Amino acid sequence: MPSSFPLLMFSHFVTMKYWLVFGVFASYISSVNGYSLIREYSGQSFFDRWDFYNDYDNLTAGNVMWANESYAASQKLAYIDSRGNAIIKVDNTTNVPLGQNRSTVRITSQDTYDIGSVWIIDLSHIPFGCSVWPAFWTFGPNWPEDGEIDIIEAINMMTFNQMSIHTTPGCTDNGSEYQLGISGPTTDCSQPPGCTVAETSPNSYAGDFAAAGGGVWATQFDVSGIFIWFWSRPNIPASINQANSSSVDVTQWGTPHASYFSNTCNITQFYTPQNLVLDITLCGVWAGVGSNYASTCANAGPTGQCYEDCVVGPGSPRYDDAYFNISYVRAYTSALPSATATGTTTTPPTRVTATRQSGKSTRNYDNNGWSAVVMFLIAAPIAVIGSWPLMFKKLHYRGMPV
């Protein structure tokens, strides 16, 4: 027998394993491919269904004051530009004295979205620069007990986006084979870093993202798991690129860039309906930590300190790139057996703080055994075939307060 036979057999084994995992996932999502548009935030009415935070950053200890709506509008921190895109930015015109913080914006959707939703955001620019910490994320009403999904998040001069989920104890992620990103070493999603996935596709953050014309993120919030896709502008699927995309088919999107399967993190247990959030903070417990800051911004100023070198003093040119330029945010809902109300109007959400509540608020779904079947279909082939090691890359993690 040729000496290459073991290698050939191993190659066939890996190929068969990949396609089996792919087939199981694809066969499931093909049954829930119908997502219909329920809400679009765009154009002159973009800000109509969002609440402005109007307080200091008591979540991540950033050196900012999140403006109220009237101040943000008057100072051009939140407005609609001549192309009809929403701009959310850091104040780059004020000379901030020592001891004060810089104005910026955080907005939270008045609508909440249940399991069985898809969210799509199209941007041409994401905030970046030394001290800058932007995020597009979601949270449940009793944060952090009701879960958090970080779709877009990075700091300082990072060159890639980092996705993550945060939960209470019991949810784990051991690194999915069915994703394009690289999972971080933390597998317990209740730990401060959360369960992170580093984007490996080019042009997902900073100047390269803008130079490529921006891009699109899509997130599927589903009983089978949480799945996130990213496409740079030239690679956006045709169905999403349509001017008025009233429905989407996730089976056309290929392999997710981050996958969090429900066989190790029961989505119905750890997540309740989610609000969407867009914000920009500065420094804080991730971007401002010494080693994280110094890794890309050591030469940003004379002190080597995030606040002193960046926030204090003139805003330009330091924060000229610290803005979101958003074409739209769209929310879709499916007819999944367990999906209930999505895109419903709520009263303005109670302001959340970094203090944990006692106990956990959970929401039960009558899914007629659907979740168990899905978890079996996903877990069984993987258990039979065995696990395949992933490459792990040490990242600069977000220090979520506890």
Active site residues: 148, 153
Rounded to whole angstroms, how far apart are CA atoms 170 and 379?
Answer: 17
Distances (CA, A) of 273 to 224, 254, 362, 371: 15, 26, 10, 17
* SS3 of the chain: helix, strand, coil, percent, to 5: 25, 30, 45
Q: Per the structure block, which two tokens stand in for 44?
A: 């002159």
Task: Decide: helix, strand or coil at residue 106.
Answer: strand
Rounded to whole angstroms, how far apart are CA atoms 93 and 91?
Answer: 6
Q: Note whether 265 and 189 are within 8 A (CB).
A: yes
Q: Note whether 118 and 332 are within 8 A (CB).
A: yes
Q: Note whether 147 and 163 are within 8 A (CB).
A: no
Rounded to whole angstroms, how far apart are CA atoms 258 and 196?
Answer: 9
Q: Per the structure block, which two tokens stand in for 150?
A: 């970080």
Closest to 28 in 3D by CA, of 204, 184, 224, 200: 224
Q: Per the structure block, which two tokens stand in for 206?
A: 């900073």
Distances (CA, A) of 262 to 68, 120, 183, 234, 300: 38, 21, 16, 32, 43
Q: Per the structure block, which two tokens stand in for 328?
A: 């739209």
Distances (CA, A) of 334 to 30, 31, 32, 147, 329: 12, 10, 7, 21, 17
Query: Residue 305, Cβ neighbours under 10 Å: how many?
Result: 18
Rounded to whole angstroms, how far apart are CA atoms 17 and 29?
Answer: 19
Stretch (H or E) spanning 56: strand 55-56
Tell me which amino acid residue 33 is.
N
Residue recorded with tokens 């703080």: 353
Partners of residue 87 on adjacent β-strands: 79, 325
Partners of residue 381 on adjacent β-strands: none
